Chain A
Amino acid sequence: MGNPANAPLIDVDNLGVRLNTSRGPAQAVRGISFSLKRGETLGLVGESGCGKSVTALALMGLLPDNAVLGGSVRLDGRQLIKLSDADYCKLRGNRISMIFQEPMTALNPMHTIGQQVAEPLRRHKNYSAGQARTEAIALLDRVGLPDAAKRVDAYPHQFSGGQRQRVTIAMALACEPDLLIADEPTTALDVTIQGQILDLIADLVEERGMSMILISHDLGVIAENVERMMVMYGGTVVESGPTDEVFRRMGHPYTQGLFRARPRFGARKGTRLKTITGTVPELADLPSGCTFADRCPLVVDGCRAALPPVVEVGHGHGVRCIRTDVSMADRVGAVSA
């Protein structure tokens, strides 16, 4: 607001999050940097436990009290790290909104969906109860909830999972935020509903000129819905770039492994699904070097020495790997696991 149109809406620089877990302090996220202009979309992809959701919650200022944040997060130039909760409350649901993974539990079972959609309007825009209700019906209608005017007074348990996710979307959009963070918005839904919800989100993002950060473990979802993507592993971004470019020339062995591990349509019956051997490292004891070293087919001693620097392999396409000369030597997927 007030900034030139090409200034970043959100600018994240060297974001780090340390969580105090029962097993000791864990560096859940380190060295995350990106910036997003108004209307741009960014995807975060990675396995569970890679730090995607922690990153999202850090942007929302919703990490537990014992989390230690480092680096900088600026919204329209304003620093959000160490912002007081009261000030953050004025941004949440107003300028930054979030859609969560689990629509079955993300809504309060004791309040009607109308009340819940109206809540941010009442809070941030000082709408009267009547205004907020009218607006809530309009929003519910927009997100495709059938019979919105009649069902505005119904309770969450009276809706299906897909319908509830529509309600949470209406809630997130109520105050026309600048930035929408969607954390696995379709993971808990039936496959048939997933496409509809993603299309709805894409339409709304375009219609309202919002920026979006879409978090998913599903490369397909990322490929179809965002302009740029970041692949996360062990709390670091291992590869980032324009989505087309990354899919065309995957540089990091982890991205390549993730790509090979997706189930493929039309694969011959009996074909085994490819996997990445090993498991995600515990965040409490991450290796000092490349976090993927223990599972990487291309690992050399140098990988374990220090966190690899980001290598620019194309326009805006960075790979945090010292072996891009080998991993990108041939075509995509040249490396055999």
Chain B
Amino acid sequence: MSVFVLRRLVTLLATLVGASLIIFLVLDALPGNAAQMLMGADASPDAVRALTIKLGLDQPLTVRYLQWIKGMAVGDLGNSYVYGTPVAGLIAERLVLTIPLAIMSMLITVTLALAAGIYTAANHNKLGDVGVMSLTQVGIALPNFWFAILLILLFSVKLQWLSAGGFAGWDDGIWPGVKSLLLPAISLAVVQAAILARVTRSAVLEVLREDFVRTARAKGLGKREVLWSHVLRNAMIPVMTVMGLQFANLLAGTIVIENVFYLPGLGRLIFQSIANRDLIVVRNCVMLLAAMVVIVNFVVDVLYAFIDPRIKVHDL
């Protein structure tokens, strides 16, 4: 493994530790006692105190933090205050939905964005460019939950092609599951794709102005060949950076979208747990989201080095 990757790994771990501290402290500082909340407003103070001790909420801050970290290391995240079942199991159940949803949504985003971005850059200032760019402007302005409702009205109510909500699971094969995630994935992707398309367009246009593009043309390459073989790879660095950042937006978006489509995913789990003051579930879910974002951006960093030979060498 190169020094470059090692260094990025160290940064990744440091970021995770920082994130865990912030998550832990913020949730601890929240008003309201989890034990009180669980037992209801009428519960006797003695009973609440007993539950507080049972849940370990009377322990000092540092002890509880370290217990949490230790638990994460061995995969024991504790039990949900509300359901009484292990948090790890609850999350795992939900990830079966949310991870495919995120991947589908990202794929749709990238496909739409690269197609639109490259098309508009290649047709700079022509009618197609202006048209597609106006569409992206609209796309950026769309609230995704509202767009989701429009999709439901069209594809579920009117055309009756796809169901308006719920998740078919993966037991009957891939297609029913993918089908039930299609509308949510599109709703999540549209805004992201609009942003990424604009980033792609400007990145490609910038590279098109580079001297080496003229050199490639002087060698006898056609405009299209130059675009594919010389321009795109150079334009990918800013595009990938934004993609990494968008992954965080996308995960945040699942909280709303899973509620719109009644999907039992991680976003809905977080939403419900917050409502129930099931803080142990909230804490672990938020930590997981943070970890996913950090890891995706780590992968993006490593990919930079694969795409751009200059990065690898400078860091070795």
Contacts and interface: CB of A to CB of B under 8 A. Distances in A.
Contacts, number: 75
A67 to B, nearest CB: 14
Nearest to B218: A98
Nearest to A91: B220
A123 B229 CA distance: 13
A: interface residue count bin: 20 to 34
B40 interface: no
A108 B219 contact: no
Interface in B209-238: 210-212, 214-223, 230, 233-234
A267 interface: no
Contacts of B214: 62, 100, 106
Nearest to A102: B211
B218 A93 contact: yes
Interface of B: 210-212, 214-223, 230, 233-234, 307-310, 313
Contact of B222 (A60, A89, A171): A89
B218 to A, nearest CB: 5
Contacts of B220: 89-94, 120, 123-124
The 8 closest A-B CB pairs, nearest first, are A93-B219, A93-B220, A105-B211, A92-B220, A108-B212, A155-B309, A98-B218, A120-B219
A163 to B, nearest CB: 16
Contact of A109 (B216, B221, B310): B310
Interface of A: 60, 62, 85-86, 89-94, 97-98, 100, 102, 105-111, 119-120, 123-124, 155, 157-158, 168, 171-172
The A contact surface, by secondary structure, is helix
B309 A157 contact: yes
A173 to B, nearest CB: 11
A123 B218 CA distance: 12
A85 B234 contact: no
A56 to B, nearest CB: 10
13 contacts: A62-B214, A85-B222, A89-B221, A91-B220, A93-B218, A93-B220, A93-B221, A105-B212, A109-B234, A119-B221, A123-B219, A157-B310, A168-B215
A123 B221 contact: yes
Contact of B216 (A60, A94, A108, A158): A108
A89 B216 CA distance: 10
Contact of B309 (A105, A107, A109, A171): A109
Nearest to B217: A62
Given A157-B310, A168-B215, A108 B234 contact: yes
Given A85-B223, A100-B211, A105-B210, A110 B218 contact: no
